[in-house]
Structure 1
C-alpha cells in the first residue's frame, strides 16, 4: 500500500493537555507544601533534632504519607531550609535593605535589628538552620543567606560609590565584611547573652557605621 505523505507543511495539532495529570501535579505540590509547613512547626515545637514522626504528628498523618512526598529526611530538611530562607529570613533582611533612609546609620541599624529579632522571635528555626551548616552535598541555608544579603548590600554600596565618581571595587569586600561581622557576633550572642538585644544592635551598628563611615562618600 502506498503511504500518503503530508506535504502541506502544517504540523499536526498537539494533543490536548491531560487535565487529570495537571490537577494531580498541583495537588501533589500543594500537599508537599503543607507537609513542609508541618515540618517547620515540628522544628518550632521539638527543636533542631526533630524526627519524621514529629512531622507526621504535626501534620496529622502517618509517617508513610510523609515518605510519599519526600524520599528521605534529608530531602525534607532541604525543603524546610528553603521555606525558612524564602518565607522568613530573606524577606525580613532584604525588605529592610530595600527601604530608603536618609541616614546610613539608621539603615544599618534596621537590618541588624531585623536579624537579631529573628534570633529572638524564631530561636528554634535559627538553631535548626545553623545545625545544618556545612552538610556535605546538601543545601547550606546560612551561606546562601549570607550571599543574598551581602549581594544586596554590596549593590547599594556600589551605587553610592559610582554616584560619587569613585571606584566601586571595594563594595563587595565591605559588604561581606559587614554581613560576616554581624552574623558571627549575633551567633555568639545567641548563646552568650552578655547584653540585651537592643544593646547588641547598638554595638554592632556603631562598629559597622564607624567602619563604613570612613569609606563611603557622604550623602548628597
Structure 2
C-alpha cells in the first residue's frame, strides 16, 4: 500500500483551494452578468434575442452561455434575484408594526411598485418557460400574506387553513389584476396609488367577510 506523504497532502490542499477560488469567481461572475442582463432588459425590453442581450450586457453570447447554458438559464437567474427582492420586501411588510389592514395595503404597494418601476423586467421574469422560480416565489408570497390574515381571522381560523387558502387566492387575484392593469396603455391606467387603494380595499373587504361568515354564519 502506497503511503501518502506530506507533499501529497499539500498538493491536494492547493488543488482544493484553487477549486474553491474558481467556484467563488464563477459565482461572482454569474452575479455580475445577471445584474447586467437585468439592466439590459430594463432599458431595452423583455424580448431581446441572445445576441442583442449579450451586446447590451457588454459581452459576447459565448460568454453568457458559458455561465448560463441558454437563455432560460439566464432568465431563471435574473428571475431569482428579482423575485427574492420582492419576496423579502413583502415579508418585511407582512411583519411590520401596525394593523393587519395597513400591512396588507403595504404588500399590495410593494407589488404594484414593482410593476411600475420596471415593467420590462417583470415581464421578462414572469415569462420563464419552466415556471419553477415563479412557482416558488408565489408560494413564498402566499405564506407572507397569510400572516396578517391569520391575525384578522383569529378564532374563526384556529388552524390557519382559511388564512392560507385566502392568501393563495389573494396572490392570484392581485397578480392577475396587476398584469391586466400593466397591459393597458399608460393613458388608460388608474394611477399607481389609486390602483393600490382599490386592490387593497377589495382584498380587505373579502377578508373581513370571511371572518364574519365564520363567526356569525352570515352568507352574504
Asked if these proteins are the same fold (TM beyond 0.5), I'd say yes
Which position in structure 1 is the counterpart of 2:138? 146
User: Deviations 1:22-64 (Å, cap 9, x if unpaired)?
Assistant: 2111111111111111111121122111222233223322222
Which position in structure 1 is the counterpart of 2:22? 24
Which position in structure 2 is the counterpart of 1:203? 198
Tell me which protein shows more helix as a share of its residues: 2
Contact 1:35 1:55 in 2 (8 A): no
Which position in structure 1 is the counterpart of 2:61? 63
Q: Please list every run of 5 or more consecutive structure 2 residues that lacks an aligned counterpart in the other structure.
A: 3-8, 213-220
User: Deviations 1:98-144 (Å, cap 9, x if unpaired)?
Assistant: 2121x222111111111111111111111212333xx2xx2344433
Q: 1:150 Cα deviation (Å)?
A: 0.6
4+ residue runs over 6 A deviation = none
User: Deviations 1:162-203 (Å, cap 9, x if unpaired)?
Assistant: 678844331211111222221111111112344211111111
SS in 1 for 2:210: coil
Q: Which is further off, 189-198 or 38-47?
A: 189-198
- Give the paired residue count: 202
Is 1:120 equivalent to 2:112 in the alignment?
no
Is 1:191 equivalent to 2:183 in the alignment?
yes
- Output the TM-score relative to the length of structure 1: 0.79
Contact 1:109 1:205 in 2 (8 A): yes
- Output the TM-score relative to the length of structure 2: 0.79
Which position in structure 1 is the counterpart of 2:97? 100
SS in 1 for 2:161: coil
Contact 2:142 2:168 in 1 (8 A): yes
CA RMSD of aligned residues (A): 2.7
